[in-house]
Amino acid sequence: MSESTATSRTVLLRGGEVHSPADPFATAMVVERGQVAWVGSEGAADAFADGVDEVVDLEGALVTPAFTDAHVHSTATGFALTGLDLSDARTLDEALTLVRDFAAGRPSDRVLLGHGWDASRWPEQRPPRRDELDEVTGGRPLYLSRIDVHSAVVTTALLDMAPGVREAAGFQDRAPLTRDAHHAVRAAAFAAVTPEQRTEAQRAALRHAASLGIGSVHECAGPDISSEDDFTGLLRLAAEEAGPRVLGYWAEQDVEKARALGAIGAAGDLFVDGALGSHTACLHHPYADADHSGTAYLDSAAVAAHVVACTEAGLQAGFHAIGDAAVTSVVDGVRVAAEKVGLARVRAARHRVEHAEMLTPETIAGFAELGLTASVQPAFDALWGGEDGMYVQRLGAERARTLNPFAGLLRAGVPLAFGSDSPVTPLDPWGTVRAAAFHRTPEHRVSVRAAFTAHTRGGWRAVGRDDAGVLVPGAPADYALWRTDELVVQAPDDRVARWSTDPRSGTPGLPDLTPGAHLPVCLRTVVGGRTVFVRPDE
């Protein structure tokens, strides 16, 4: 069936639970010409049954808007899915064994690619040394990115493929590579990958996203992350094959380049700083476990100039900012830009800040004032938060407790868009919602409903679309079917939860995401009325 035929069919879904603000008790939905045409009750669905092309018996399944992952690196995600993944390695020795086995199993690869090591979780508390990697790979080129993708360890053979790297900023002979040195070896490694391998990795990432009920991804690309061919190839693949929508950002201070490449913004990972795990996030005060305060790549003047250029060009600007000093530079710079081009124009542009982990009441207020969208990753807290997590190691307990303040952002009226930063953390939309609702710091928790909204409608709003990410008539028919247990309403405040479960509140329920409970299983994903994933019979 052609795409035009598939999206022109009229489909009635009935006999389930439809999560829609149009009718909190809806059990049926009609899709026509790629849009939601009607949502309502089972009895009213009878009137549509004879006039549609297909009737789908939901058999009690839950229908929700498809998720939007607002921060993804698709090619790297695909390589993590199909290549060497060290995220589950429990010790340094185990990681080295995995590298040895991977190298032995890929004798013809021009370069070995791996990802996900995190020495802060190993008893040895150190990454692999270059001589150790040379030994287990037999001297072959190897690139192993840290879990936050802001540093890497490599073999001597890969260093030799990147001329001048030993003189570049961020090169250390006996420590992970950061900054320019890291970018150089990453470029050399990815340049050795064939176009066919790259396309297959991208295809694997998008198929995996569809299998999780993800209908859209925001690709955060740029010259320090991937190549122009990588970016345009991904956009072309998404346009040609059934799968999630791909909305691309190009992180370069070149507005015309971003537009020429097909990006919707010169945004995403335009680095103001690095990452906490790699000691490169830029802080106001030094790290608790290092004698420096990180790395600044852009100052407030550079931020202001970029925001002005993007606003005048009608494109979104956006920045990667994690440390409190970096976030302050972004807020100060956007405020200067607003003074030049007008606050209303800056707010209307919906410029973005990726990650925004170390916020203060002042910078939260700045986000609200300037209309900045916080594109955040709740799984970071699930992975690195808590009393004994990496955040405490890097910052100390007092500063660590301030990180990822989702509730404070919502109270201030700051728009939230949830994502994974995959492959930094896996594509896992319901796990992401759970991580926000059960934040390790209780005062930062939000309701499951608010978190779900940030991971569905929030992603659409972040790209300037207020009519999508929700199942109401006229919205794009991007939805997913789920097998799940009884629906409930969960909120940080028990009084809210009790009222919301009362039928008089008209609050539609969502799956129980209590830690330890089974997460919903995706049965089907539909994008624009076109089915892009169906779970095989089990």
* H/E run at residue 85: strand 84-85
* DSSP state at residue 488: E
Place of tokens 């150190």: 126
Q: Is the pLDDT of residue 331 over 70?
A: yes
Of 246 and 47, the one with more pLDDT? 246
Of 29 and 85, the one with more pLDDT? 29
The reported pLDDT for the residue numbered 5 is 47
pLDDT, average across residues 443-454: 97
Collect all residues with Cβ–Cβ distance below 8 Å to 94 and sequence separation of at least 6: none
The reported pLDDT for the residue numbered 50 is 87
Residue 17: exposed, middle, or buried by beta-carbon count in 10 A (0-12, 13-18, 19+)?
buried
Structure tokens at 112: 């070995």
The reported pLDDT for the residue numbered 108 is 85
Q: Is the pLDDT of residue 6 over 80?
A: no
Mean pLDDT over the full length of the chain: 93
pLDDT, average across residues 430-459: 97
Contact in structure between 472 and 39 (CB atoms under 8 Å): yes
Place of tokens 């791996």: 114
Q: Is the pLDDT of residue 318 over 80?
A: yes
The reported pLDDT for the residue numbered 174 is 86
**What is the number of residues in the chain?**
538
Contact in structure between 385 and 403 (CB atoms under 8 Å): yes
Domains of the chain by start residue, with CATH: 3-66+470-484+520-534 (2.30.40.10), 75-191 (3.10.310.70)
DSSP E strand stretches across 309-467:
316-321, 352-355, 373-376, 416-418
Q: Is the pLDDT of residue 492 over 50?
A: yes
pLDDT, average across residues 87-92: 93
The reported pLDDT for the residue numbered 168 is 93
- Rounded Cα distance between 475 and 460, Å, is 11
pTM of the model: 0.89
Q: Please count the helices (runs of H) and the strands (runs of E) in the chain.
A: 22, 23
Q: Is the pLDDT of residue 505 over 70?
A: no
One-letter-per-residue 3-state SS of 86-121: CCCCCCHHHHHHHHHHHHHHCCCCCCEEEEEECHHH
For 356: left if phi > 0, alpha if psi spans -120 to 50, otherwise beta; the answer is: left
Q: Is the pLDDT of residue 373 over 70?
A: yes
Band (pLDDT 50/70/90 cuts) for residue 77 is: very high
Structure tokens at 379: 């799984």
pLDDT, average across residues 397-414: 97
* DSSP state at residue 492: S
Whether residue 24 is preceded by a cis peptide bond, meaning omega within 30 degrees of 0, is no
One-letter-per-residue 3-state SS of 208-248: HHHHCCEEEEEEEECCCCCCHHHHHHHHHHHHHCCCCEEEE
Contact in structure between 7 and 528 (CB atoms under 8 Å): yes
Q: Is the pLDDT of residue 75 over 90?
A: yes
pLDDT tens profile 119-135:
998 999 999 999 999 99
| Torsion from C-alpha of 164, 165, 166, 168, nearest 10 degrees | 100
Q: Is the pLDDT of residue 496 over 50?
A: no
- Rounded Cα distance between 320 and 295, Å, is 13
Structure tokens at 34: 């790629």
- Rounded Cα distance between 134 and 142, Å, is 9
- Rounded Cα distance between 285 and 293, Å, is 6
Strand partners, 530: 527
The reported pLDDT for the residue numbered 491 is 72
Q: Is the pLDDT of residue 459 over 50?
A: yes
The reported pLDDT for the residue numbered 144 is 94
- Rounded Cα distance between 103 and 96, Å, is 11
Q: What's the Cα-to-Cα distance from 440 to each of 418, 429, 443, rounded to whole Å?
A: 17, 18, 9
The reported pLDDT for the residue numbered 122 is 95
Of 83-97, 293-307, 357-371, 433-447, which range is least confident? 83-97
Band (pLDDT 50/70/90 cuts) for residue 226 is: confident
Band (pLDDT 50/70/90 cuts) for residue 495 is: very low
Q: What's the Cα-to-Cα distance from 220 to each of 166, 180, 250, 438, rounded to whole Å?
A: 28, 19, 6, 27
pLDDT, average across residues 446-460: 97
Contact in structure between 492 and 485 (CB atoms under 8 Å): no
